[in-house]
């Protein structure tokens, strides 16, 4: 009887060992890590979650715009690739982007607009927009560290009273706070009129949508964005030569 119990115990131990080996000894499952900030060269990570169409399958006007941007920038920002998955939405998206970001009227500079996008995209947790538009802000403002300061804490950044009022209004829109006359009065005290307030609010609202699209499509920033505008182009050329 004792011998039988001993054999049963041995059998149970052997079975447990087999289960443990099955758990720890088998080949580990592939873990997909969402390294959205990866800048390693040769990274084969896809641009996002959706398939990118071949150029030959895209409408001519979209291909023409993408090639124009690529020639001007030296690379094609990934947002163009991801949005090309839906050509009709691609056109609508960039038409509205162009209307609010490239309008020549109003008191917002290109640097102002990019700073609004950086500050609101941080709230919306959008790595692509924070990284890409920080790069554009560095280029337009010629200030290589200000966007980085805003990323950490915009209230402690080297911002003027004008920029503080602008970001305060943009973030109120971003967070869907109750917008009151006091918000407009603070802007007016810094030289912004009602049309400027519309521009600030529209940029905040449009990029709230853009941030969320980047989120569900898993849009990754191009590695080129991380270094853009940090050193003068002449120095960049010297380093690369």
In this prediction, residue 12 carries a pLDDT of 47
Enter the tokens of residue 87: 């050509």
Q: Taking a C-beta distance cutoff of 8 angstroms, is the pair 168, 180 a contact?
A: no
Residue 6 is predicted with a pLDDT of 46
Per-residue pLDDT of the chain (241 residues), as tens digits, is 554 444 444 444 444 434 333 333 333 344 444 555 555 544 445 788 999 999 999 999 999 999 999 999 999 999 999 999 999 999 999 999 999 999 999 999 999 999 999 999 999 999 999 999 999 999 999 999 999 999 999 999 999 999 999 999 999 999 999 999 999 999 999 999 999 999 999 999 999 999 999 999 999 999 999 999 987 665 555 454 4
Cβ atoms 167, 119 nearer than 8 A? yes
Sign of the dihedral defined by the CA atoms of residues 60, 66, 70, 75, in that order: negative
Residue 48 in contact with residue 82, Cβ under 8 Å? yes
Query: What does pTM read for this prediction?
Result: 0.79
Q: Could you tell me the domains of the chain? A: 50-102 (1.20.5.810), 108-240 (1.20.1290.10)
The Cα 193–Cα 92 span in angstroms is 28
pLDDT at 36: 54
Longest Cα–Cα distance in the chain: 96
Q: Are 207 and 129 in contact (CB under 8 A)?
A: yes
pLDDT value, residue 168: 98
d(CA 193, CA 20): 69
């Amino acid at each position: 009887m004792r011998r039988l119990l001993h054999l049963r115990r041995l059998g149970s131990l052997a079975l447990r060992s087999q289960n443990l080996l099955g758990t720890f000894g088998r080949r580990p499952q592939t873990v997909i890590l969402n390294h959205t900030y990866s800048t390693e060269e040769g990274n084969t990570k896809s641009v996002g979650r959706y398939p990118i169409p071949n150029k030959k399958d895209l409408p001519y006007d979209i291909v023409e715009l993408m090639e124009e941007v690529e020639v001007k920038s030296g690379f094609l920002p990934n947002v163009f690739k991801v949005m090309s998955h839906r050509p009709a939405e691609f056109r609508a998206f960039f038409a509205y982007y162009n209307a609010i970001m490239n309008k020549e009227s109003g008191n917002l500079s290109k640097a102002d607009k990019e700073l609004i996008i950086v500050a609101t995209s941080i709230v919306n947790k959008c790595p692509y927009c924070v990284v890409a538009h920080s790069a554009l802000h560095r280029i337009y403002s010629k200030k290589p560290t200000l966007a980085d300061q805003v990323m950490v804490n915009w209230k402690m950044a080297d911002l003027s009273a004008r920029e503080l009022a602008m970001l305060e209004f943009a973030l109120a829109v971003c967070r869907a706070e109750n917008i009151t006359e006091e918000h407009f009065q603070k802007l007016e005290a810094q030289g912004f009129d009602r049309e400027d307030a519309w521009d600030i609010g529209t940029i905040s609202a449009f990029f709230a949508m853009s941030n969320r699209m980047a989120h569900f499509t898993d849009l990754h920033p191009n590695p080129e964005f991380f270094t853009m505008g940090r050193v003068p182009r002449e120095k960049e050329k010297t380093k690369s030569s």
